[in-house]
A and B are shown apart, each in its own frame.
Chain A
Amino acid sequence: MLEFKVIQELKPSNEILEIIKSYTYITKNGKVKHLLKTNLQFIEPTEYIITYPTTLTILEYKVNEISNKPFYIKEHNEKYNLKEIKQILIKLSN
C-alpha cells in the first residue's frame, strides 16, 4: 500500500469565499502529501462545491509557476485564472 504523509493543508482563498458567501456551498481543504519512500509529493486541490444558485465544482491548485490558470471547473472542463474565476462567480448571482 502506498503510504502518504500530509505535510501541508491548503485552505480556501478568502477572496473566493467573499464572493460566494451568499451562495450555498461547501469547501474542502487541499493537501500536500508526501509519498513516503519516494521523492514525490502529490498536491490535492482545494475544492469549492457550490450547490446554489447553480451546481459548480471548482478546484484550486495552489502551486507556483506551474500554470497561470490555477482554477479548474469540472463542469466546464476548463482552466481559469483568478480574474476569470471571479467574473464567473460574480455572474452567478446576476
Chain B
Amino acid sequence: MSNRCALYVRVSTDDQRDNGYSIDSQLRMIKEYCEKNDYLIVDVYNDAGHSGKDLMRPEMQRLLKDIKSKKIDKLVAIKVDRLTRNNYDGFWLLNYCEEHDVKIELILEPYDVSTANGEMIFGMNLVFGQRERKEIGARTKRAMEEMALSKIHPSKAPYGYIRNQETGHLEIEPIEAQVVKEIFELCKKRHSTRNIASIMIDNNSYLKQGKWRSDRVYKILTNSIYIGVFEYGKYKRKPQNVLRVNNYCEPIIDEQTWNVTRANLEKNKHSNYGEHIHLFTSIVKCPDCGGILSSTNSFKNSGTEKEKVYYHLTCKNSNCKSKGLHYSSDKIEQKLGRILNELTRYMYDTDNEIIVCNSTKTKEIKDIDNAIKKLKQQEKKLVDLYLSSTLNVEVINHKNEVIKKEIDKLNQKKNKLDPDDDFKDYTVELLKKLDCDYQDDNNILFKNKLGFSFLWDSLNRKTKKELIQRLIASLEITRDKNYNIEIKNIKFTDEFISKSNKEYLNYLNEILNNNEIGIKYKEQVNKPELEKLEQDYFIFSTKKYENNKYSEADLLLYMELIKQHFYHDGIINCPYIEDNNIVDNLLLIPKTIIKI
C-alpha cells in the first residue's frame, strides 16, 4: 500500500473551548505524524466550525469523493470524534474506507481499525463521541439556564433594555422603554398591532434596525420581560418546560397593564382567525416580480345557503405591475393535486428508482455566476499587467473600476433573482434514500386501489395545508390572458427529497388514517364488537345491499348520511368476521347530528 494520505481536521467552537484542539494544533500534530511515518500529504480537508453530528460537511463530502476516486490511501485524523460524533456515520465511514482500500489512522487513538479488536475500540470511541456531543448540548443548555437563573441575560437584549457589558444584567434603555410604554398604552386602548405599527412609523419612533411592523409590535406585546419575568425557551420548548425567572430585571410596565393587554390581544384576534385555512401560505411566487404572494379570501352570501369562501393569492409588492391581481387558490390546488397524483403513482410503480434533488439554480443565475467568474479573472490579470508594467496605473485603475462596477451590477441582479442563493446550493447535496426492499403490506391507499387523488379529495383543508407545506417549498405559476393558471415550476422540500418511496407512501397512509374526514379504515370487527358500535354508528352492509335487502328510501337515506358525514367527520370502512372468515364489508356512519 502506498502512502498517499489525506488530513482531516474539524473543530466546532465548543470543542475548541473545551479541549483545546484547535485547527492549527490538529494540523501540527498530524503533519508531525506524517513526517515521522514518511507519508505523502495529498490534501488537507478542513471543516472548521462544522458539527460532527452528520457527514453533511463540505470538506467531508469532498473527502468522500476523493476516497472514491482513489486519490488517497490513508485518512489521518487526531481522534475519531474529529471524523464523526455519530455511531452510524462512523461505521458507515469505516466500511466506505475499507471498500475503497483506504486505511483510517487516528493519532491519539493508536489502534488498527482493520482488526476486529481495533474495530471494537473504534466503535466504543464512537459511542463516547456521540455521548460527548449530547453532553455538550446538555451542558450548553444547563449553562444558559444557570445564566438565566443568575439573571445574566444569555442573548441579545430585547427592545427597551440594554445588556450591561460587565454584569450581563438587563438595564432599562430610557428612549426605547418610553416607546414600549406607548405600545402597551395603545394596545390598552384596543388598537390592533398593525395600527400600532403604523402609529410607530408616523411618530418615527426609535428603532435601531429594521422597520416597525405588526409582528414586531406583537412580539413586544407578548414578551413578559417587560413585567420583569424572563421566559427562557419560550419559542423552542413545550410550555411546561419553559424556564420562568421572576424579578429578572426592572419592569417597564405594571402587571395591570399587562393583564389588560392580554385580554385586548385576545379580543383583537380576527373573528375568522383559524376558520379560513389558506393552503399556499408563503409558497407561491408572483409571476411578475417573484415575490411571495399573500393569501386573502372573499365571501359570497346567496340567500339561505351557507356562506361560500373564495381563496385567492395576491401580490402586495407596491412596485409590481400585477399588484392587486388575484390568483385563484382553488385553480392552483387543482393543478398541484393532479401533478402530485401522477408523481405518487409514478413513485409507487417504480420503487427501484431513487430521487435526487436537482440544482435549483436557474440558467440565468448560472450565467451570471459565470460572468462574475470571468470578470474576477480579468481583475486578476490586471494585477499581473500592473506588476509586469505593461500598462500604466491610470489605465489599470480605470479598468479596475469598470470591472468592479460590472461585478456589483451582476451581484445585484443575482440577488434580485435569487435572494436565498446560499440555501439553494446546499440542497443539491441531498439525496433520496435508497429503499429497495419495498413491501406494501401496510399500504391501505394503494392496496384498496384508492390512489392519491382519493386521498387529496377527502382531506380537510387543515391536513391538506400540512401536506402541501411538508412537500412543497415553493411554486412558480404563470397566468395567460384568459386567466388560466399553470404551474411553471415546483421546488420540493428537503423533507420530501430525503424520504424514501416507502416512507413517503407510509406518510400518505398515515394521513389517510388520521384524517378527520373521508373514509377511515378499521380492522375487522366481530359480532360483539359490532353490537357495541351500533350504539354510535348506522351500519351499512355491502352484503345486504348486494342482496337487495335495502328499500329505495333506506338507500337514499344512507347515501345522504354518507355524503354529509364524508366531508364532516368521516365514515369508517371495516370487514365483518364470523368464525375467522370475512363475511361482509361494512360502512359505519356516525349517528352525530351535523348542524349546517
Contact = CB atoms under 8 A, between A and B. Distances in A.
Interface in A52-69: 59, 61, 63-68
B96 A41 contact: no
Interface in B360-410: 360
A64 B61 CA distance: 10
B164 to A, nearest CB: 48
B357 A41 contact: yes
B99 A43 contact: no
B70 interface: no
Interface string B340-362: 00110010001011111111100
B92 interface: yes
A14 B66 CA distance: 21
Interface in A3-24: none
B358 A81 contact: no
Contact of A40 (B357, B434, B437): B357
A42 B342 contact: no
A80 to B, nearest CB: 11
Given A45-B353, A61-B354, A63-B431, A39 B99 contact: no
A28 B433 CA distance: 23
A57 B55 CA distance: 32
B342 A2 contact: yes
Given A2-B342, A45-B352, A65-B61, A77 B434 contact: no
Given A1-B342, A40-B497, A68 B96 contact: yes
A78 to B, nearest CB: 8
A34 B358 contact: yes
Contacts of A61: 354, 434
Given A40-B497, A63-B431, A68 B357 contact: no
B356 A63 contact: yes
A48 interface: no
Contacts, number: 84
Contacts of A1: 342
A2 to B, nearest CB: 5
Nearest to A37: B489
Interface residues of A, number: 28
A40 B492 contact: yes
Nearest to A65: B64
B343 A2 contact: yes
A90 interface: no
Nearest to B97: A68
Contact of B436 (A34, A39, A44, A72): A72
Contact of B490 (A34, A38, A67, A81): A38
Contacts of A81: 95, 99
A43 B343 CA distance: 15
A91 interface: no
Contact of B491 (A38, A42, A63, A64): A38
A39 B360 contact: yes
Nearest to A81: B99
B352 A42 contact: no
Contacts of A79: 434, 436
B447 interface: no
Given A2-B343, A65-B61, A72-B352, 18 more contacts: A2-B339, A34-B358, A38-B492, A39-B357, A39-B360, A39-B490, A41-B356, A42-B350, A42-B353, A42-B355, A45-B352, A61-B434, A66-B433, A67-B434, A68-B99, A77-B437, A82-B99, A83-B99
25 contacts: A37-B488, A37-B489, A38-B358, A38-B489, A38-B490, A39-B427, A39-B492, A40-B355, A41-B355, A41-B356, A42-B353, A43-B354, A43-B356, A59-B352, A59-B436, A63-B434, A64-B65, A64-B68, A65-B64, A65-B65, A65-B431, A67-B434, A72-B436, A79-B434, A81-B95
Interface of A: 1-2, 34-35, 37-45, 59, 61, 63-68, 72, 77-79, 81-83
Return the 9 tightest CB-CB contacts between A and B, nearest first: A72-B436, A39-B358, A41-B356, A39-B491, A68-B96, A38-B490, A66-B431, A41-B358, A39-B360
